[in-house]
Amino acid sequence: MRGDYQQLVDEISAALGAPATLEDRDFGLIAFGAHEGDDDLVMDPVRTRSILQRRSTAAVRAWFEAFGIARATTALRIPPDPAAGVFKGRICLPVRHRGIVHGYVWLLDDGHLTDLELGGGGTPPDPRIEQAMESAAGIGALLAAEARAGAELGDLLRALLQSRPGERSAAAAALRDGLRSAADAPLMVVAVTPWGVPEADQAPLPNLPGLLAACTLPAANRAADGAETPLPALSAAAPAPAARRTAPAPPPRATADTPSLAALVRLRSPSSLAAAHTVAEHLLRSPRAGGGLAPSGAGSRTLPGAAGLGTPVRELAGLPTAWHEALAAARAARAEPRLGPVAEWDAIGSYRLLTGLSSAEPDAAVRPLLTPAHSELARTAEVFLDCAGQAGRAAQALGIHRQTLYYRLGRVEKLTGLDLDEGGDRLLLHMALKTARL
């Protein structure tokens, strides 16, 4: 099917005598037409990046979308803007099918298309534009068909990941039929959280090696035994000044309807995770990854998403457990930036336990410490416990004098009623502080 895209893009390039590129609606490159002449005369930084890195930046996407390309039904003319790296004007052909935009065809205009009539306002378009729009419609039909095929596999994957133990065999058999021979290879689940789902979401899967299927799932994670384990909803502390922050502020609390993405990836071998890492990194660059707002004390900055990898599996029936692991790793990576942006289940340490805890309220003794008013004390206690109770290391990590550390720890003990010389109290406090990040 990718060859069909290339043929249609070449037809558009030939019809209009201009180099064309085809991108999906997330600005991921699908195909580009050949062009003649000096590259310096027909290329600009935006096109070069699109071809070499196979996608455009979020800033470039926002710049082009400001011209209304997502709503357009006819060809649009985009003026050059050297400040944005757009040295040459463009003609954008929206790629639509049954009213849904699936992508865009871009034609670089070095000046010879300036007088080309695009149509609109009662004026008929140039016949060459009509021909190009017909080819764009053909691309739209292909992308829509690819999206439907991907959606069917995604539905089968979702049914298996959400299945209860008694339903698992039937769900695995249905997915095996859909995957055919690919089901015999080692498989891995990649989780990306959070994941924005626009209306009429029928975008095809990106063309990435090993990516077999993908679906969105709510953040409430059904454990391998079928029980629901919603994400903890704990108070988010305001961040400390950046100069001294060693433990970042927790991300905004997740709700049960916050979607995450599950992607099924085929591996070359159980020990070779390169394909899964490539898929995770690509998905994290999507504008649909992340987007959660930081806590109120941190202003209006947007927090990035994170990805997690589960354990490789050989049997489809093991995918629900692998999804549980992948989502836990993604949550851990988002809570602890040192683990991410892509974290493997085997590498998240204590978060393997913490992500499996229920959404019960934090212990009553620790709860006062988790309020924004005491964020500095909470951060101090967490760093102290991360340093295994070694005061010198903790004071150095926090950038404070040792006596200041002791003073703050005394306030923590008074606020919580816990004795930091007692192992059990330390464990309770440490677990509560780490869980609050999730």
pLDDT tens-digit readout, 280-314: 998 998 878 875 434 333 334 455 789 999 999 99
How confident is the model at residue 128, as a pLDDT? 92
Please give the average per-residue pLDDT across 373-397, as a whole number: 94
The two tokens of residue 30 are 């699908």
Q: Is the pLDDT of residue 207 over 50?
A: yes
More confident residue, 297 or 80: 80
The predicted pLDDT at position 260 comes to: 93
Note the pLDDT of residue 109. Answer: 81
Q: Tell me: pLDDT of 382 over 60.
A: yes
pLDDT-above-90 percentage for the chain:
49
**Residue 69: per-residue pLDDT:** 93
Using CA atoms, how far apart are residues 176 and 183, in angstroms rounded to an integer?
Answer: 6
Q: Answer yes or no: is pLDDT of 202 > 80.
A: no
**Residue 224 binned pLDDT confidence (cut-offs 50, 70, 90):** very low
Query: What is the predicted pLDDT for the residue at 435?
Result: 86
- Going by pLDDT thresholds of 50, 70 and 90, the confidence category of residue 36 is low
Structure tokens at 63: 């710049």
Predicted pLDDT of residue 225 = 47
The pLDDT of residue 298: 35
The answer to whether 330 and 345 are in contact (CB under 8 A) is no
What is the mean pLDDT of the segment spanning 83-110?
A: 87
Indicate if the pLDDT at residue 199 is higher than 70: no
Which pLDDT score is estimated for 232?
33
Q: Please measure the distance between the N-terminal and C-terminal CA atoms of the chain and give it in whole angstroms.
A: 41
Which has more pLDDT, 111 or 244?
111
| Mean pLDDT across the chain | 81
pLDDT tens digit sequence for 258-279: 789 999 999 999 999 999 999 9
Question: How many CB atoms are closer than 10 A to CB 227?
Answer: 10
Q: What's the pLDDT score for residue 300?
A: 40
Give the lowest-confidence range in 42-51, 348-357, 380-389: 42-51
Confidence of residue 373 (pLDDT cuts 50, 70, 90): very high
Q: Tell me, what's the pLDDT at 46?
A: 66
Res 41: pLDDT: 47
What pLDDT is recorded for position 249? 47
Is the pLDDT reported for residue 359 higher than 80?
no
pLDDT for 299 equals: 38
Mean pLDDT of 353-375: 85
Tell me which residue has tokens 């455009």.
56
- Exposed/middle/buried for residue 387 (C-beta within 10 Å: 0-12, 13-18, 19+): middle
> HSE (CB half, 13 Å, CA atoms) of 253?
16
Least confident segment among 42-56, 58-72, 122-136, 175-189: 42-56
- For residue 348, give the nearest of 359, 337, 333 by alpha carbon: 333
Q: pLDDT digits over 226-253, tens only?
A: 444 443 332 233 333 333 334 444 444 4
* Per-residue 3-state assignment (H helix, E strand, C coil) for the chain: CHHHHHHHHHHHHHHHCCCEEEEECCCEEEEECCCCCCHHHHCCHHHHHHHHHCECCHHHHHHHHCCCCCCCCCCEEECCEHHHCECCEEEEEEEEECCEEEEEEEEEECCCCCCCCCCECCECCCHHHHHHHHHHHHHHHHHHHHHHHHHHHHHHHHHHHCCCHHHHHHHHHHHHHHHHHHHHCCEEEEEEECECCCCCCCCCCCCCCCEEEEEEEECCEECCCCCEECCCCCCCCCCCCHHHCCCCCCCCCCCCCCEEEEEEEECCECCECHHHHHHHHHHHCCCCECCEECCHHHCCCEECCEEEECCCECCHHHHHHHHHHHHHHHHHHHHCHHHCCEEEHHHCCCHHHHCCCCCCCCCCCCHHHHCHHHHHHHHHHHHHHHCCCCHHHHHHHHCCCHHHHHHHHHHHHHHHCCCCCCHHHHHHHHHHHHHHCC
